[in-house]
Amino acid sequence: MTKWNVYVTNEIPQPALDMLAEHCDLEVNREGKPLLKSTFLQKIQGRDAVLCLLTDQIDAEVLRAANQAKIFANYAVGYNNIDIPAATAHGIMISNTPGVLTDTTAEMAWALLFSVARRVVESDNYTRMGKYEGWGPMLFLGQDIFNKTVGIIGPGRIGLSFAKRAKAFDMKVLYTGNKANPQFEHETGGQYVSLAKLLQNSDYVSIHTPLLPETFHLIGEKEFKQMKNTAILINTSRGPVVDELALVKALETGEIWGAGLDVYEWEPKLAEGLSKLDNVTLCPHIASATIETRTKMGMIAAVNIIAAMKGELPPNCLNPEVHKSSSRQKT
């Protein structure tokens, strides 16, 4: 079998690169930042496969330039950065990395929730700055978590993992999505409600929905008005699910109490005013960033490329019809 020529658009954990290097000739962008589009378009020409990141916009122009590519393996579970219909039209398979980052991402959503509710970052800064002069009964009063109500938007894999952990804090779980999910209810005791009811009744709202046309700005001005003034919003999914300017306003005016964000509408840029607020914890899209999980994500992307190279259907192929029609052509 001829070795495939693979381009990796950024450094990923070494075990995944080693795995790919056993089977393929590799070039890795080691500049530590995404390539300029013009360089990217050149780099992918003549490659059999590309291992890309969620920061790479894989649009029709890119897919056209990848004149020999059989697969783009996305190093993420989300794939809103890829024009899948255009990839299918070009006969290019697309894969993602589902499953391995579920619990890691759910844990990060909890980390943000705790951080905002108990004002961890704010009080850490205060202590470091030498402002702590002694215990005070009114110092950094936060919100209890136990016995409260948590609302989960999107009861998929990550939403379920997040919800299961709510049991440990004796919380009531509400959830909303396209339809009721009996497995979710069985595992979490969660109650299916409308988005409006969830927002009105939740002390914590955690977003776990993919970015789709119908989830763009799912939470905006109207929704912030429906939330409790004491509510905290957590977003570890995709930034544009929340109208970020409306969020800044809701946080400034006290319409909601706080927010914990790992993703942003114009990532990596933040909406004007967001970083000036004390009632937010802001992280740089690190929900899946543990050594174990980022390594597994790389291995999965590598496995998908290697399967494609062997003529097999990559296990996480999002457009399997491309594989079917190419194997039909061969027989």
Residues labelled as active-site residues: 238, 267, 285
**Least gap, CB of 25 to ligand DGY (angstroms):** 26
Nearest-approach distance from CB 101 to ligand DGY, in angstroms: 5
Applying CB under 6 A, does 304 fall inside the site for ligand DGY?
Answer: no
Distance CA 51, CA 23 (A): 14
- Between residues 175 and 264, which has the closer beta carbon with respect to ligand DGY? 264
User: Exposed, middle or buried: residue 142 (CB in 10 Å: 0-12, 13-18, 19+)?
Assistant: middle
User: Is residue 117 within 8 Å of residue 204, measured between CB atoms?
Assistant: yes
Q: Which residues contact 252 (CB under 8 A, 6 or more apart)?
A: 273, 277
Task: Determine contact, residues 50/41, Cβ cutoff 8 Å.
Answer: no
At its nearest, how many Å lie between ligand DGY and the CB of residue 135? 40
Residue of 8, 20, 52, 77 interacting with ligand DGY (CB under 6 A)? 77
Hey, CA dihedral for 107, 109, 112, 117, is it positive or negative? negative
Helix axes 102-117, 120-128, angle to 10 degrees: 60
Considering the rule CB under 6 A, would residue 209 count as an interface residue with ligand DGY? no
Nearest distance from C-beta of residue 56 to ligand DGY, angstroms:
13
240 lies in the binding site for ligand DGY (CB under 6 A): no
Say how many residues touch ligand DGY, by CB under 6 A: 6
Binding pattern for the stretch 91-130 against ligand DGY, x by CB under 6 A and - elsewhere: ----------x-----------------------------
54 interacts with ligand DGY by CB under 6 A: yes
DSSP string, 116-134: HHTTHHHHHHHHHTT---S
Residues that bind ligand DGY (CB under 6 A): 54, 76-78, 101, 288
